[in-house]
Chain A
Amino acid sequence: MKYICLGYMEPNKFETMSESERNAMVDECFTYDDVLRKNGHFAGGEALQSSHTATTLRWNKGKVLVTDGPYAETKEQLGGILILEARDLNHAIQLMSKHPGVKAGPFEIRPAADLTDMIHQSEQRRSVAK
């Protein structure tokens, strides 16, 4: 079962680390990512550039409003996404508890939604419409 793991972190945390601390953290994280890959648990993932680079689109008064910045100005910002393949929630918790990234900031773990039925029904509707 797929679990989407959202890694959050305080934006300045990386900058305020010393170079050796930063390298250690990065190396630890990459090493663990490799462990997950090797064991078939890593189904995808991306690191995100800093939240300063974010742009948000919002529907407002009949059109799209484009603004600078992330969706929400929270203390911790989204830093990366990891798509985890695990047996069940306990397994997902076990795997992500060992991810060094959890020391840098919280991980939100959410089961991926299975849209198979929804997609199928939508395709049927759209093929009829043609």
Chain B
Amino acid sequence: MTGQVDEQIREKVECVYRAESGRILATLIRLLGDFDLAEDAVQDAFRAALERWPQEGVPTNPAAWLISTGRFKAIDAMRRRVRFDASQAAIGEQLYSDTTEALALDDESVHDDQLRLIFTCCHPALATEARVALTLREICGLTTEAIARAFLTGPSTLAQRIVRAKTKIREARIPYQVPGPAELPDRLDTVLQVIYLVFNEGYSASSGASLTRPDLSGEAIRLGRLLLELLTEPEVMGLLALMLLQESRRAARTSPSGDLILLENQDRSLWNRDQIAEGLTLVERALLSRRFGPYTLQAAIAAVHAEAADVASTDWAQIVALYTLLARAEPSPIIELNRAVAVAMRDGPAAGVDLIDAILARGDLADYHLAHSARADLCRRLGRRLEARASYERALALTQQEPERQFLQKRLQELG
């Protein structure tokens, strides 16, 4: 009988770990003022739960119990260390004196703690790769090995990166804060950028044999959902919508043998309709707010594709209009390129080639393989085979992804 109860309690602890450990960590970082202390405290707290809940029963508020326990264990550890290290004394005494005060464990503080953690991990004073690594480690709870594998880095390099980031947070004194209203738009941008970077890493691996790494995209979407729960901002909706709409095409994007399938050739019956529905709802909400930005516009473009039964019945005019808005919000040659491709669909290949040539003539995107493969495709449709061949070869020279290489080589063969 005891064995059964213990098993139930063990499962309960694991369940609480999965659901709450992120929030618990976020709060302990605030209470203890240090990432490493807080991480140890979380582990110690859950260990204590496994030992004590079978005897004491599962507490009514497991998260609060774990936070409290973690904090006490950390303070105990620091007081023991005080005997050996005088500089810890002040911190330890300060924490101990907070014991009798309310720990601010209500929903609002905990919710703020998670936002504090996200904004700190994504702080602009940290290098981009450090932000990504820290976010995946501290918020998504991935191991350093898993993160290293996902980004094709060595685990010790990744571990060093995280250590250096935490050191910088400590020594430059990056505060554990949610940015104020004046800073929020820019700071939110850096958070969204990190999340989208993680998504893209999973959606289209930068080099190597496999085109996608689904786990990373899943993590990014989960992050997006978490952020939206915490912060109801249109661009957060827009980013989540964009990721869902792109993710909805995953099954149709590669053939069983790993070949790349372009949007125009994808079997739309393989698109995930649930993700599309959720994405469309989010885009509409974001657009209604009128405070949307580039992510929402990109999501709106993805939505037009998602709603179309096939390439021919796609509202290309609307896509061009959205790209025009996007190019204004966020001028970039890549957005211009995508707009050129849409113009080609609306007005014919010649119009598209002209726009792409204008971009290349400026010196932009000279080394961007998609610019050359897009140009090649339009030339092919116009029957300009020599130009198509030259552009396909240029694109081939510039891409490292195996499925894309095979796709380009096939096109070259078809040209004859």
Residues of A that sit less than 8 Å from B by CB: 1, 87-91, 93-94, 110-111, 117
Question: Which of chain B's residues 18-43 have a Cβ closer than 8 Å to chain A?
Answer: none
Sample 22 A-B pairs with CB under 8 A, ordered by A number: A1-B173, A87-B175, A88-B173, A88-B174, A88-B175, A89-B125, A89-B172, A89-B173, A89-B174, A89-B175, A90-B174, A90-B175, A90-B177, A90-B179, A90-B183, A91-B175, A93-B125, A94-B183, A110-B172, A111-B171, A111-B172, A111-B173
Known: A90-B177, A90-B183. 17 other contacts (CB 8 A): A1-B173, A88-B173, A88-B174, A88-B175, A89-B172, A89-B173, A89-B174, A90-B174, A90-B175, A90-B179, A91-B175, A93-B125, A94-B183, A110-B172, A111-B171, A111-B173, A117-B87
Residues of B that sit less than 8 Å from A by CB: 87, 125, 171-175, 177, 179, 183
Which DSSP category, helix, strand, loop or mixed, fits chain B's interface? loop
Once the chains are docked, how many angstroms separate the CA of A94 from the CA of B184?
A: 12
Residues of B within 8 A of A111 (CB): 171-173
B325 to chain A, nearest CB (A): 29
A108 to chain B, nearest CB (A): 12
B91 to chain A, nearest CB (A): 15
Once the chains are docked, how many angstroms separate the CA of A30 from the CA of B158?
A: 44
Residues of B within 8 A of A87 (CB): 175
Once the chains are docked, how many angstroms separate the CA of A91 from the CA of B183?
A: 11
A52 to chain B, nearest CB (A): 33
Residues of A within 8 A of B179 (CB): 90
Residues of A within 8 A of B172 (CB): 89, 110-111
Q: Ordered nearest first, which 6 A-B pairs have the shortest CB separation?
A: A88-B175, A88-B173, A89-B174, A89-B172, A111-B172, A89-B173
B106 to chain A, nearest CB (A): 25
Residues of A within 8 A of B171 (CB): 111
B130 to chain A, nearest CB (A): 15
Q: Which residue of B lies closest to A1 (CB)?
A: B173
Residues of B within 8 A of A117 (CB): 87
A69 to chain B, nearest CB (A): 31
A6 to chain B, nearest CB (A): 14
Once the chains are docked, how many angstroms separate the CA of A94 from the CA of B172?
A: 14
Once the chains are docked, how many angstroms separate the CA of A91 from the CA of B173?
A: 10
B291 to chain A, nearest CB (A): 23
Q: Which residue of B lies closest to A116 (CB)?
A: B87
A43 to chain B, nearest CB (A): 16
Residues of A within 8 A of B177 (CB): 90
Once the chains are docked, how many angstroms separate the CA of A88 from the CA of B183?
A: 15
Q: Which residue of A lies closest to B179 (CB)?
A: A90
Residue among A87, A89, A94 with most chain B CB within 10 A? A89
Residues of B within 8 A of A90 (CB): 174-175, 177, 179, 183
Q: Which residue of B lies closest to A93 (CB)?
A: B125
Q: Which residue of A lies closest to B169 (CB)?
A: A89
Once the chains are docked, how many angstroms separate the CA of A94 from the CA of B173?
A: 14
Once the chains are docked, how many angstroms separate the CA of A117 from the CA of B87?
A: 10
Once the chains are docked, how many angstroms separate the CA of A82 from the CA of B177?
A: 26
Once the chains are docked, how many angstroms separate the CA of A111 from the CA of B170?
A: 11
Residues of B within 8 A of A110 (CB): 172
Residues of A within 8 A of B174 (CB): 88-90
Once the chains are docked, how many angstroms separate the CA of A110 from the CA of B168?
A: 11
Once the chains are docked, how many angstroms separate the CA of A93 from the CA of B183?
A: 11
Q: Which residue of A lies closest to B182 (CB)?
A: A94
B331 to chain A, nearest CB (A): 21
Residues of A within 8 A of B175 (CB): 87-91
Q: Which residue of B lies closest to A110 (CB)?
A: B172
Once the chains are docked, how many angstroms separate the CA of A88 from the CA of B173?
A: 5
Q: Which residue of A lies closest to B174 (CB)?
A: A89
B118 to chain A, nearest CB (A): 15
Once the chains are docked, how many angstroms separate the CA of A93 from the CA of B175?
A: 12
Once the chains are docked, how many angstroms separate the CA of A42 from the CA of B201?
A: 44
A114 to chain B, nearest CB (A): 10
Residues of A within 8 A of B87 (CB): 117
Once the chains are docked, how many angstroms separate the CA of A90 from the CA of B173?
A: 8
Residues of B within 8 A of A91 (CB): 175
Once the chains are docked, how many angstroms separate the CA of A1 from the CA of B175?
A: 12
